[in-house]
Amino acid sequence: MLLGITGGIAAYKSPLLLRRLQDAGAEVDVIATPAALEFVTPLTLATLSGRPVRSEIFNLRGDGGIAHTSYTAEADITVVAPASADFIGRLAGGLADQLLLTALMASHMPVVLAPSMNVEMWDSPLFQRNLALLRSLPRYRILEPGAGYLACRVEGKGRMPEPESIVKQVIAALTPQDLAGRRIVVTAGPTRERFDPVRFFSNRSTGLMGYALAEAAVQRGADVTLISGPTSLAAPEGLNLVRVESTTDLLAAVLAQTGSAHAIVMAAAPADYRPRAYSDEKLKKTADGLTLELAPNPDILRTLAEQRPHLFRIGFAAETQDFEKNAADKAVRKALDLIFVNDVGDRARGTGFEVDTNGGWLLDGAGVRVREIPVRPKRIVAHILLDELVRRLG
Ligand code: CTP
């Protein structure tokens, strides 16, 4: 993608935005206007992007390529942050007297603009006219500036949105809305089974995979309910979050939320057992040790197979051996439509608990391999799984 930086004090946040875009998986080329380079140095931008920073329209490229067409040929999207009042005026006026303007005029990719300026400039009728013109063109997506304390020491509208918020909107602009109109329930995290007021048992699930799936489904336009066991993860935006503790709670929440859903993604790791008895008082330590008797918990996916036969059901299998065979048995036993299996053994590389990556095999309801999924960040694996869901929901 292309990051355009224009001349405004908010350019001090642009290097951080560049980093956040890279964290989200983007390869970023930077074009900074000469005015932008009064606020942030080419050295900073080139060091972070790992590529030369372009600014001058009349510099020939070393390989003889034409600057304004070759820099944009490979980009999928441009973000201009900050977009100054002057830049927006020139863009709306069809001017092309600087490299960033020529690059945009010579291409068709979507452009996200993050205007940032003094509140009086923001309110000026001329600026508002220019902004309205760009808003009327489908190619441009204009981010709302924040209100607050501005560099000119007045309160008002005109702050550049925070880098994290810009990244989210860039992803939304690039992601096909192929789950729009679908209601998807995602479960995530472990469950806890209490046996006295201070103690419980649980498992190593962190919820990372389920949260990544829920976020990816939101990005693709789905109406998402995330049912989460106890985790330390921040609640993603744009979805309905239901918190549960035990497997019994999880089953009740799943039944309550799937009445009109199209699909469920069971990434949670519900405890298979619960203590047969609960002590209202804290159990005292004894020299003989402690024996806990466990009762089986209901199997949520099997219950859904009976009570929600039309719901598209995706299960997960965390295994330590015979991956595809164990998963195929589970898919049939639980009457699933798809199952994803990964290695959680002690020697697993990048696919176990508490890591940001995952990988494994995706099988259909008959246990036949659909595809192997290489080890990738969990958000990428989430989109690969949703690609298959979209294909099968038709
Ligand atoms: N699952 C469920 N209800 C349970 C336990 C698990 O619906 N009580 C779901 C999980 O969310 C997951 C799938 O079933 O999508 C497989 O979970 P797993 O624990 O591997 O299956 P089990 O049936 O418990 O088999 P195992 O003997 O391997 O533990």
What pLDDT digit, counting tens, does each position of 166-200 carry? 998 898 888 999 999 999 999 999 999 999 999 99
CA of 195 to the centre of ligand 1 (A): 21
222 lines ligand 1 (CB under 6 A): no
pTM of the model: 0.81
Q: Is 367 left (phi over 0), alpha (psi -120 to 50) or beta?
A: left
Higher pLDDT, 150 or 224: 224
Question: Which atom of ligand 1 approaches the CA of 326 most closely?
Answer: 28
Cis bond leading into 161, ω under 30°? no
Nearest to 252 by CA among 227, 278, 274: 227
Tens of pLDDT, residue by residue over 357-379, are 999 999 999 999 999 999 999 99
DSSP state, residue 145: P
CA distance 155 to 8: 17
Is 268 a pocket residue for ligand 1 (Cβ < 6 Å)? yes
Any bridge partners for residue 358, and if so which?
Answer: 376
Spatial CA neighbour of 114 closest among 92, 90, 75, 146: 146
Does the fold of domain 183-393 match that of domain 2-174? yes
Crossing angle for the helix pair 247-257 and 300-307, to the nearest 10 degrees: 30
The pLDDT value recorded for residue 60 is 55
More confident residue, 336 or 25: 336
**So what's the pLDDT on residue 70?**
63
Rounded Cα–Cα distance for residues 41 and 18 (Å): 13
Cα gap 121→103, rounded to integer Å: 26
Mean pLDDT throughout 261-290? 96
Diameter of the chain measured on Cα atoms = 84
Catalytic residue among 152, 256, 290, 368: 152
Closest ligand 1 atom to 339 CA: 15
Question: Which numbered atom of ligand 1 lies nearest the CA of 315?
Answer: 15
Structural domain boundaries of the chain? 2-174, 183-393
2-174: which CATH topology? Rossmann fold (3.40.50)
How far does the centroid of ligand 1 lie from the alpha carbon of residue 270, in Å?
7
Distance, CA of 22 to CA of 29 (rounded, Å): 11
Statement: residue 58 has pLDDT above 80: no
The answer, yes or no, to whether residue 77 has pLDDT greater than 70, is yes
CA of 213 to the centre of ligand 1 (A): 18
Going by alpha carbons, the residue nearest to atom 4 of ligand 1 is 299
Among residues 242, 267, 118, 249, the alpha carbon closest in space to that of 187 is found at 267
Topology adopted by domain 183-393: Rossmann fold (3.40.50)
Rounded Cα distance between 8 and 84, Å, is: 6
Question: Which secondary structure element, helix H or strand E, spans residue 79, and what is its range?
Answer: strand 78-83
359 is catalytic: no
Query: Can you tell me whether residue 31 is helix, strand or coil?
Result: strand
